[in-house]
């Protein structure tokens, strides 16, 4: 019996799942990770800690596979996007990885944007603005502030590519992760030589790009022996976390939409087009599916807004919170909440924005305020839907994932605000499930989209109420005007 492993190297932990060719999950394993903040707004991890976690998980899953009488045929990995790993000629890690959430590179972003002819030209070159979270400015920061380390760099990699390197000895990446570096032309689906030349970055330090379901190589004999794997175990390219999460719930073609409602929130919509948002409000990346790209809006404090309020002010559990919030009418009895606790990305790209409760009167109760939080987060998701509609992206089949998807209140709000049916997947394992699909796809030579659609099942549906859609449309206009009126106050 051939079995397959999907790994996900996240920020807080590594997850592994063992599946068969039908997509049935036979075993799971998890390991925690630690993040370092050596200075305010910095975020780093030791890449070798990812590797140690992956080894424990693979040993666990290989033992489980043998107990079942099976054999792990292929492994594929998903990972946090943008984070930078640098190695020398001997394969030694030169410094801690600088993570996607690290904010130290804002000056490098400004300088690179200016060198490349301004943001409008940057969008034409790579499809995205240069933001502090992305990979390119991290390289420029190391060159400026750590020249001795920069001089020793032989290759740079993204987190999941580092795991593939440790498994096989091969340095390769694939399109979905490469597209989050802002050194890659999303429209042409290749490293952008003009960007590299203008910023004096040698292409030789970048990995070769293969398809997401392409074969990186076989597990090295010594690694296979250590982990209880066969030497003919394949390692498949894998993908970026959001792209793999979308693949895992069959969001693979135009018309499909993924709403990921976690600590942060994302709205991801595949497209066959090759043009980014000309205003740079939503990201434009390559998918794990051949010749497919996606637009993605990102809000920074989705379920975190509720988690923050609960921790500070509420004693009730989440079930009670949902029950009480459901009793409050749409509009939260006049209260509007801006969910910008730590700035916002889509649509404002404003690090200075902050959370606001507006319209409180002596009539209001705490549950009005809590419902306003639910609505504010949903309005933030609606912002991305409105931009995608403006860009003429087809939006038909919406699937929700993440911790917030467990809330019937949020599911109902999002259905009402978007005017679309919301589907809850039967399997919600996140990016690791998409990675497992790629493992099967790469080893069997099948299109990952085909496998994804065969594996996908719907658990439940939430339909919109037309009267609420109209109400929320008017309230959303007030929500947007509130931010506009406070924008300069945030900066001051």
Binding-site positions: 81-82
Q: How far is CA 188 from CA 142, 179, 344, in A?
A: 28, 11, 29
Q: Known catalytic residues?
A: 241
Residues within the annotated binding site for substrate? 81-82
* Whole-angstrom distance, CA of residue 182 vs CA of residue 33: 27
Whether a cis peptide bond, with omega within 30° of 0, leads into 67 is: no
* Whole-angstrom distance, CA of residue 225 vs CA of residue 203: 34
* Whole-angstrom distance, CA of residue 250 vs CA of residue 289: 10
* Whole-angstrom distance, CA of residue 33 vs CA of residue 258: 26
* Whole-angstrom distance, CA of residue 286 vs CA of residue 143: 28
Which runs of E-coded beta strand occur in 192-351? 208-210, 215-218, 234-240, 255-261, 265-271, 283-286, 293-299, 336-338
DSSP assignment of 461-486? EEPPPHHHHHHHHHHHHHHHHHHHHH
Name the nearest CA neighbour of 58 among 23, 13, 15, 11.
15
- Report helix angle 408-418 to 466-491, nearest 10: 90
Please say whether the beta carbons of 178 and 285 come within 8 A: no
Residue spans of alpha helices (H) in 249-365: 303-313, 318-326
Token pair for 474: 């008017």
- Name residue 344's beta-bridge partners: 350
Token pair for 187: 């429209």
């Amino acid at each position: 019996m051939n079995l397959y492993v999907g790994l996900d190297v996240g920020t807080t932990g590594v997850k592994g799942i063992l599946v068969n060719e039908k997509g049935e999950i036979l075993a799971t394993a998890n390991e925690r990770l630690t993040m370092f903040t050596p200075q305010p707004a910095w975020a780093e991890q030791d890449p070798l800690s990812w590797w140690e976690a992956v080894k424990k998980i693979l040993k666990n899953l290989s033992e489980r596979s043998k107990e079942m009488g099976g054999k792990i045929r292929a492994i594929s990995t998903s990972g946090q996007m943008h984070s930078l790993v640098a190695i020398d000629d001997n394969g030694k890690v030169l410094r801690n990885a600088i993570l996607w959430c690290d904010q130290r590179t804002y000056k490098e972003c400004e300088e690179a944007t200016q060198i490349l002819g301004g943001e409008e030209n940057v969008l034409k070159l790579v499809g995205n603005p240069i933001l502090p979270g992305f990979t390119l400015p991290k390289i420029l920061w190391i060159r400026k502030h750590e020249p001795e380390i920069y001089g020793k760099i032989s290759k740079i990699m993204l987190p999941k590519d580092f795991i593939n390197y440790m498994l096989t000895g091969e340095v390769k990446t694939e399109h979905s992760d490469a597209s989050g570096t802002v050194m890659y032309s999303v429209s042409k689906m290749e490293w952008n030589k003009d960007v590299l030349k203008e910023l004096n970055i040698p292409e030789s330090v970048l990995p070769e790009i293969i398809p997401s379901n392409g074969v990186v190589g076989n597990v090295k004999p010594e690694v296979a022996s250590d982990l209880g794997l066969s030497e003919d175990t394949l390692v498949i390219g894998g993908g970026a976390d959001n792209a793999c999460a979308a693949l895992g719930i069959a969001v693979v073609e135009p018309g499909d939409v993924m709403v990921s409602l976690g600590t942060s929130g994302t709205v991801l919509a595949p497209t066959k087009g090759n043009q980014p948002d000309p205003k740079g409000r939503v990201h434009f990346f390559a998918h794990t599916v051949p010749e497919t790209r996606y637009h993605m809006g990102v809000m920074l404090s989705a379920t975190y807004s509720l988690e923050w309020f609960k921790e500070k002010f509420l004693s009730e559990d989440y079930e009670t919170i949902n029950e009480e919030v459901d009793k409050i009418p749409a509009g939260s009895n006049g209260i509007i909440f801006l969910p910008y606790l730590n700035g916002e990305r889509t649509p404002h790209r404003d690090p200075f924005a902050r959370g606001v409760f507006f319209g409180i009167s002596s009539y209001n109760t705490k549950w009005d305020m809590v419902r306003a939080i639910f609505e504010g987060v949903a309005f933030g998701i609606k912002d991305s839907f409105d931009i995608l509609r403006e860009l003429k992206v087809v939006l038909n089949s919406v699937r929700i994932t993440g911790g917030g998807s467990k809330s019937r209140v949020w599911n109902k709000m999002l259905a009402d605000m978007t005017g679309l049916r919301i589907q809850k997947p039967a399997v919600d394992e996140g990016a690791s499930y998409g990675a497992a699909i790629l493992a099967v796809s790469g080893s069997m030579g099948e299109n990952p989209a085909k496998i994804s659609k065969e594996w996908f099942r719907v658990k439940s549906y939430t339909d919109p109420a037309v009267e609420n859609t109209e109400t929320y449309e008017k309230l959303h206009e007030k929500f947007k005007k509130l931010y506009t009126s406070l924008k300069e106050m945030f900066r001051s």
